[in-house]
Structure 1
Amino acid sequence: MTLSILDLAPIPSGGTASDALNNTIDLARRAEEFGYRRYWLAEHHFAPGVASSAPAVLIALVAAATSRIRVGSGAVQLGHQTPLSVVEQFGIIDALHPGRIDLGIGRSGQRRAELAAAPKGPPPRPREDREDKVVDGLLIPAPLDLSTLAIHPQLVHYATFLQQPGAQTPDFAEQIDDVLAFINGTHEVHAVPGEGADLEVWILGSSGGQSARVAGERGLPFAANYHVSPSNVLEAVEAYREAFKPSDELSEPYVMVSADAVVAPTEAAARELASPYALWVRSIRTGAGAMRFATPAEAAAHVWTDEDRALVKDRVDTQFVGTPGQVAERLRTLRRVTGADELLVTTITHDHEDRVRSYELLAEAWNHQ
């Protein structure tokens, strides 16, 4: 199947990290039954409502609890650790679950440092000066400048806990070359386990910047984030394809695109389940970190300002919410417009069984397209 899952191990309001992690194991087993192709775990830190802070650990647990589905990271943030440590971690997992592990890598640390050092230009234009557009049926929302969030004083302070004092993040391209060299056994030192591991290496990106270019130039598969940065998805996949050079791994570009989705038997029920999503996105974009996912009733009690609504509009408008047929059709549009080979779906609801049921209904609809 050309659908895969991205899981953040979300913690619901009233729940605990233990609840979230047990839910992740259960969902992974069910996803394998439903026929999903991959099960990826995200990396998030300092978020009260997300338990996926150590993807390699979670991947090992999920791989041990399943038998066929590919398991991987979406993504390991390479700015927080060395290429050697990443390859060794994933090499250990591959040694126990050979041929099933994906090493998805994201660019971080370096990007934050660049933003902090950049000269401060004029403030971004107000959102109302920009326009949403629809490309062949796919909504591409107006871009929202979130660069100030990346250098939010609180987040910059938190980031110091992810690296040793004085550590500097190397250039992303150099880091990727080191990862590939460790795996291929062409580095001057050996990663054991890791060298010769049957890992599928992916690059994840939210724009047409360095991540997309590095993925293309190294001939690696690329995952573009429509669910995080929907305004940049076409730019990202275009930049990747333009930069692509055939490699031993791929003879032509291979793209996966992510999407947020909530599915229920009726559209009204799906919208009710998805109603806390806007509040959850707001918690991320205000710098507080992802909150515990609220119930619909809790979310309904929030008093929204115009500024709040503008802050989350692009994410809310591009979340695919509805019946199985409605969501499957919108995902087909996303795949057609982006030319994606696979789609990576992330679903968050307050109740675990609603999330499991959403993925089950979507798989049924997708398999009968």
Structure 2
Amino acid sequence: MTAVQRPVPLSVLDLVPVSSGSTSAEALRNTVDLAAAAERAGYARYWLAEHHLNPGVAGSAPNIVIGAVAAATSTIRVGSAATLVGNVRALQIAEAFGTLTGLYGPRFDLGLGRSGAPAPGAPAPPALEPRDDEVVDGLLVPSPFAFRIAPGSRFALQGELLGRVPGDVERFDDELALIRDLFAGTYERDGQVVDGTPAAGADVELWIHGSTGGASARAAGALGLPYGANYHTSPGTVLDSVRAYREAFRPGVLDAPHVIVSADVVAADSAAAASELALGYDRWVHSIRSGVGAIPYPTPAWAREHPVDPAVAEAVADRVATRFVGDAGHVADRLAVLQRVTGADELLVTTITHDHAARVRSYELLAAEWGARAARPAAVEVA
């Protein structure tokens, strides 16, 4: 007789989306409102992503937004997923999170990741090898997306404007070590401990985030840190990513591996209502992947009136097929499959709709359904 897996904690990933006809200022205010709603609904964490040069995403300065979210909440953990090393230097990162902790107390999660913006003149990372789509125990794992950075794209310009230089990616481990030393108050230079105020002694939870199962997963595992794996942006590599982390894991900060896995979801009162809210997602994802930069999220009416080009549909098919859309029960069922197949210890959900109230409602419906399942007596399977 084997106990059925119980629901794990749910958290929020907010990209601070800008809706068509709206402004970045309104998107930022919506984030603060959503954070307060997420806390009331019982979400465990509220994380902000870092994106630059995207007309449809206002989350370019997550550390500032994190402070605004912390000021509007009191119990939910707040953090970044991820702060991109290379875009910001280790000292600045540690000082920012030390400052946040000093202002709002020890409830901050610093998620670190490698930036996708290349340094001018640096070689592009190799494209992932395609393979057949597969379904693993009910979870769709599509062929990895062959991401390529086109010359003159937003990604290339981003690297230039952020001052990235060749070797930034290779310095990730050194920057990570410096951040840890600054928080621990043990960083030395010329035999003397350097005072890293306000970072020194700050109680910040450190995470590493990755997509492909490469160096980030191995770094997190080797240090015994918690790890974030992306099903929502890279569904084709999520199992590789989690596997690499667990294989590399050695007791360190944690005694055992701990993984949070992300998913893109839309929940509504009915499947039809959720499908309506989800319209436009294909165009939005394609605008990011093509290097143009995220467009303001379109209305369902606009999406219906502008049929998607077949080439565009093909380019984002993996993302559309792995977005969980439906009533709260259906979305919770799909999340349960994701959790079972990946062995996730937590799940991180991101929802984007044109209408802010609908987005808040989606999170509220899902939290209520997830909480109701957690409150039920544990069922068992008879072998």
Q: What's the TM-score, normalizing by structure 1?
A: 0.93
- Which letter maps to 1:285? R
Q: Tell me what 1:191 maps to.
A: 196
Q: Distance in 2 between matches of 1:153 and 1:12?
A: 23
Deviation at 1:174, TM superposition (A): 1.2
Equivalent residues of 1:264, 1:358 under 8 A apart: yes
1:89 maps onto 2:96 in alignment: yes
1:282-330, Cα deviation, whole Å (9 max, x unpaired) = 1111111111000001112224332211110000000000011000010
Counterpart AA for 1:148: I
Q: How does 1:62-141 map to 2 (within 5 A)?
A: 62-108=69-115, 112-113=118-119, 116-117=122-123, 130-141=131-142
Cross-structure match for 2:182: 182
Contact 1:183–1:191 (Cα < 8 Å) also in 2: yes
| Residue pair 1:205, 1:224 contacting (<8 A) in 2 also | yes
Shift of 1:226: 0.3
1:272 aligns with 2:276: yes
1:42 match: 49
The letter of the residue matching 2:346 is E
Residues 228-247 of structure 1: pairs in structure 2 closer than 5 A: 228-247=233-252
Identify unmatched segments of 5+ residues in structure 1.
Answer: none
Does 2:257 align with 1:253?
yes
Whole-angstrom CA distance in 1 between matches of 2:244 and 2:358: 37
In the alignment, the residues of structure 1 paired with residue 225 and residue 141 of structure 2 have an alpha-carbon distance, to the nearest angstrom, of 26
Kindly provide the amino acid, as one letter, of the partner of residue 18 in structure 1. A
Relative to 1, partners in 2 of residues 1:50 and 1:119: Cα closer, same or farther, differing over 3 Å? closer
Determine the C-alpha separation between the residues in 2 that align with 1:246 and 1:152.
Answer: 43
1:211 aligned residue: 216
Q: Could you say which residue in structure 2 is the equivalent of 1:58?
A: 65
SS of equivalent residue, structure 1 residue 200 = strand
In structure 1, what is the Cα distance between the partners aligned to 2:125 and 2:46? 40
Cα 1:52–1:183 change in 2 (3 A) is same
Distance change >3 Å, CA 193–CA 119, structure 1 → 2 = closer
Verify the 8 A CA contact 2:118 2:159 in the aligned structure 1: no
Instruction: Give, in whole Å, the separation in 2 of the partners of 1:291 and 1:238.
Output: 34
**What SS class does the counterpart of residue 194 from structure 1 fall into?**
coil
3-state secondary structure, aligned to 1:368: helix
Give the 3 Å change call, closer, same or farther, for CA 124–168 of structure 1 in structure 2: closer
Contact kept in structure 2, 1:267 and 1:323, CA below 8 Å: yes
Distance 1:115 1:7 in 2: 32
User: Which amino acid in 1 is paired with 2:173?
Assistant: A
The separation in 2 between residues aligned to 1:349 and 1:118, in whole angstroms, is 32
What is the match of residue 16 of structure 1?
23
Deviation at 1:114, TM superposition (A): 11
Aligned counterpart in structure 1 of residue 362 of structure 2, from 340, 358, 366:
358
- Does the 8 Å contact 1:132/1:139 carry over to 2? yes
CA 1:338–1:244 in structure 2 vs 1: closer, same or farther (change >3 Å)? same
Contact 2:12 2:45 in 1 (8 A): yes
For 1:304-360, what per-residue CA distance to the aligned partner results, in whole angstroms no more than 9, with x for missing partners? 332211110000000000011000010010001000000000000001000000000
Cα-Cα RMSD: 2.0
Give the aligned partner of residue 292 of structure 1.
Answer: 296
Question: Hey, what's the Cα distance between the residues in 1 that align with 2:75 and 2:65?
Answer: 16
- Secondary structure of 1:40's counterpart equals strand
Residues 265, 308 of structure 1: alpha-carbon distance in 2 compared, 3 angstrom cutoff: same
| Alignment correspondent of 1:322 | 326
- DSSP-derived class of the 2:100 partner: helix
**CA–CA separation in structure 2 for the residues paired with 1:240 and 1:361:** 32
What amino acid maps onto 2:208 in structure 1?
I
> Would the alpha carbon gap of residues 52 and 134 (structure 1) be closer, same or farther in structure 2, given more than 3 Å must change?
same
Structure-1 residue corresponding to 2:32: 25
Is the Cα contact below 8 Å between 1:32 and 1:68 reproduced in 2?
yes
Tell me the distance in 2 between the aligned counterparts of 1:271 and 1:147: 30
Distance of 1:62 and 1:27 partners within structure 2: 9
1:81–1:163 CA contact under 8 A, matched in 2: no
| Residue 4, structure 1, aligned to residue 11, structure 2 | yes
Match of 1:146 in 2: 147
CA-to-partner distance for each residue in 1:226-260, whole Å, 9 max, x for gaps?
0000000000000000111111x210000000000
> For 1:187-240, what per-residue CA distance to the aligned partner results, in whole angstroms no more than 9, with x for missing partners?
112321011100000001001101100000111100000000000000000000
Paired position in structure 1 for 2:339: 335
Q: Which runs of 5+ in 2 are unaligned?
A: 1-7, 189-193, 374-383
**Structure 1 vs Structure 2: percent identity of aligned residues?**
52
Offset of residue 168 of structure 1: 5.2
